[in-house]
Amino acid sequence: GQQVMQIPQYQHVQEGEDFTTYCNSSTTLSNIQWYKQRPGGHPVFLIQLVKSGEVKKQKRLTFQFGEAKKNSSLHITATQTTDVGTYFCAVNAGNNRKLIWGLGTSLAVNP
């Protein structure tokens, strides 16, 4: 079945440093979604990428979708303590368009 690999599993940075998480699939994706989950909270939708080579920005967050639509990345510039949480990528699969989730990347930021 559809699988998506996400790395790294953990990332510990100093406040102000950059952060990147990557998702890869062996098959071509129709789209990919990114979510953020704060400790103790629920996943919050960040963005959906659909087009090959698409790049979208949300303030300090930059999302990319690969040309082959098999990989994606989320980059945070100059991290802040408010960025702490786990970032998940998710892809749609099946007739019910259910979400298949990456394992997530947990980001810790030292003030």
Partner 1 sequence: GAVVSQHPSRVICKSGTSVKIECRSLDFQATTMFWYRQFPKQSLMLMATSNEGSKATYEQGVEKDKFLINHASLTLSTLTVTSAHPEDSSFYICSARGRGWADTQYFGPGTRLTVL
Instruction: State the residues that interact with partner 1 by CB under 8 A.
Output: 31, 33, 41-45, 48, 88, 92, 96-104, 106
Q: Which residue, 17 or 101, has its beta carbon nearer to partner 1?
A: 101
Compute φ and ψ for 82, nearest 5 degrees: -70, -10
Q: By the 8 A CB rule, do 107 and 7 touch?
A: no
Q: Which residue, 33 or 71, has its beta carbon nearer to partner 1?
A: 33
- In angstroms, what CA-CA distances link 68 with 50, 72, 81? 11, 10, 34
Q: Which residue, 31 or 77, has its beta carbon nearer to partner 1?
A: 31
Q: Which residue, among 52, 39, 32, 4, has the nearest Cα to 109 in the 3D structure?
A: 39
